[in-house]
A = this chain, B = another copy of it.
Amino acid sequence: MPNETVEIRGHLVDSLILPKVLDEILSYNGAFEILKIEVGRRRIDPSYAQIRIEAPSREDLEKILRRVKEHGAEILDEGDVTLALAPQDGVFPPNFYVTTNLQTFIRHAGEWMEVAEPRMDGGIVFDAQGREARVLRFSQVKRGDLMVVGHRGVRVVPLQRSTPRNVFEFMASSVSSEKPKGVVIQEVATQIKMAKQVGDKILVVAGPAVINTGAGPHLVRMIELGFVDILFAGNALAVHDIEQALYGTSLGIYLEKGMPAVEGHENHIRAINAIRQVGDIREAVAQGLLKAGIMHACIQHGVEYVLAGSIRDDGPMPGVITDALQAQDAMAAKTQGVALALMVASSLHSIATANLLPAQTKIVCVDINPAVITKLVDRGSFQTVGLVTDAELFFRELVAHLDRY
């Protein structure tokens, strides 16, 4: 019978890798023999297992190997990666290797090399000269690019879950609204401070409800305190923020009084027109037209931002990138070095951002609607903590912690 031997290393038991591997073998009609198993006796000890896999046919064996490699198994005496040319611009070669967001290595000329910019659902392009491999999306591939096909010679490093050591890890992947949020928010503040101390970046993704719920001033304070490096948002955030700065209303409601303004529903359109008239947001700040709010704070404090458009936008506000591919490129270019992404009250932009982040980036997702959080947390990363709560109350509490810094 066709067979192959694989090795697994890491926190085998703790991280459930071993049972998952055995389960995959059995699920696809294979059989296994555990040739060697060394289980670490303490948490930090690595484990090692060598498993011989048999399957009824070569094809079945290939399926099994493909699956177990996603759990980090390596084939003993695996050969080099297989390469093929991209047939056209924007088209991958048939059978191209589809990337994950995990740390990935490919074997070439007998040596393992890490793949740069790991990202979900792309292909791996190989630069034979420079000895570099990196992930491309469809729009980036050019005819003749040398791409990895099949799964031979590719190895991923699965995230290894350990028993939760803090509330952040404990809450990860849970979406209950009945959890003690105060403790989690405190821990998020701690994580943000720690990230800043080692020079990592904090990315905030914010939806328009940040303004509508009155959380704007808290986010402004967080920017002033230096805890925001990058802001991703859509047209609506900028519109409501600037409407609020210019007229005191958001969606026509006076935030300070919670009451509607006469003609308030026109204010957001007039805010767009006012900025279009002076050219763009930066110019509006320079001219003293825009004197408050989140966009103003970003410009004053050197926070980089990307405003990505959507088909539901009014206007748009100048500076909004209306082309989705260009917006993705602009966002991807800024995610390097981000240690923690705080996603608040934004569905579209949060999912788009999560698609671009490697698996080890921590994500904190805050939304009043559990369905939004479920979508993000379902990516399976246990680096994602979901909090079902209100944007204003969340930011107020978070910034109170950061302010004590």
Contact = CB atoms under 8 A, between A and B. Distances in A.
A164 interface: yes
Chain copies in complex: 4
A351 B180 contact: no
Contacts of A92: 273
A132 interface: no
A325 B327 CA distance: 14
Interface residues of A, number: 109
A345 B313 CA distance: 19
Nearest to A255: B180
Given A26-B42, A92-B273, A273-B92, A178 B209 contact: yes
Contact of A259 (B34, B164, B316): B164
A145 to B, nearest CB: 13
A388 interface: yes
A88 interface: yes
B182 A392 contact: yes
Contact of A212 (B180, B257, B368): B180
Given A177-B390, A324-B324, A348-B348, A183 B18 contact: no
A48 interface: no
A49 B57 CA distance: 31
A163 B27 contact: yes
10 contacts: A33-B41, A98-B269, A171-B258, A177-B369, A177-B390, A182-B396, A310-B311, A311-B324, A312-B351, A312-B355
